[in-house]
Amino acid sequence: MLKYVIILFCCTFNSSEEVTVFYKSDYNFIYSEKFKIPLYVKYTINRSDINGTIKRTNRFKIDKLISKKTAGPKNYKKSGYDRGHMKPAAVSKGSIKDMKESFLMHNICPQLPEFNRAGWKKIEAKVRALLKSQDSIIVYSGPVLKGIDKFIGVDKVGIPKFFYKTVLYGDSSKAFGYLCPHEKLDKDITKYIVSIDSIESLIGIDLYNGLAECLEK
């Protein structure tokens, strides 16, 4: 059963909006019905999530428990955009259920192939590599909704101009983020590393509530 809570907060994309946080088996997320993409997807990566034997399904589906306004996979057909994961399939190998849920459309955003299959993929790999020294990491991943003015499909799925991914070490010793323009990225992905504070200010959400200020800057 899908669990959810409703919260009210101020965001840069809308001055005040009632927002529902939905909980799946291995992640939680907020979904924008206006742009038909998530505001964020939050998940914890453990070593079992990347070392499991579960294979990709590549079966993109709507989660009907969320909303009738969720955009379906057909919006992406012949659009020129990939169906880009916010929580990657590569960190969903812990169970069949986790893998299937990573392909639900509320975990997907339109991404240019040269972005999704290159620089963004490299960032995802760098994040996974942190588990060599950490037992777990807590990640937020999502699009920046501010400034969206282009759309694809009959459901008018918003095309973000920026994407972000934030990381908090499981032992709370370090936190940082990536903020990337939605384009072909430079080979040196370290140039996209920013503070947690800067991303929170941009999207208008306090991602790591209670995190020490010294780690957010």
| Strand-pair partners of 46 | 136
CB neighbours (10 Å) of residue 147?
12
Which pTM does this prediction carry?
Answer: 0.92
At 89-103, the pLDDT tens digits run: 999 999 999 999 999
Structure token digits, residue 143: 């699009």
Pairwise CA distance, residues 20 & 11, whole Å: 14
Domain count, the chain: 1
CATH number at residue 206: 3.40.570.10
Contact 87, 120 (CB under 8 A): no
| Strand-pair partners of 23 | 3, 28
Write down the residue that tokens 């069949």 correspond to: 96
Average pLDDT, the chain: 92
Q: Provide the domain limits for residue 62.
A: 3-216
Say whether pLDDT at 36 is over 50: yes
| Strand-pair partners of 141 | 41, 165
Residue 105's pLDDT is 96
Concatenate the DSSP letters of all residues of 16-29 into one string. Answer: SEEEEEEE-SSEEE
Pairwise CA distance, residues 74 & 40, whole Å: 22
At 137-195, the pLDDT tens digits run: 999 999 999 999 999 999 999 999 999 999 999 999 999 999 999 999 999 999 999 99
End-to-end CA distance of the chain: 38
Residue 16's pLDDT is 46
Contact 118, 75 (CB under 8 A): no
Write down the residue that tokens 């780690």 correspond to: 215
Q: Cα-Cα-Cα-Cα dihedral of 75, 94, 115, 138, to 10°?
A: 110
Pairwise CA distance, residues 139 & 127, whole Å: 9
Mean pLDDT value across residues 3-7 = 51
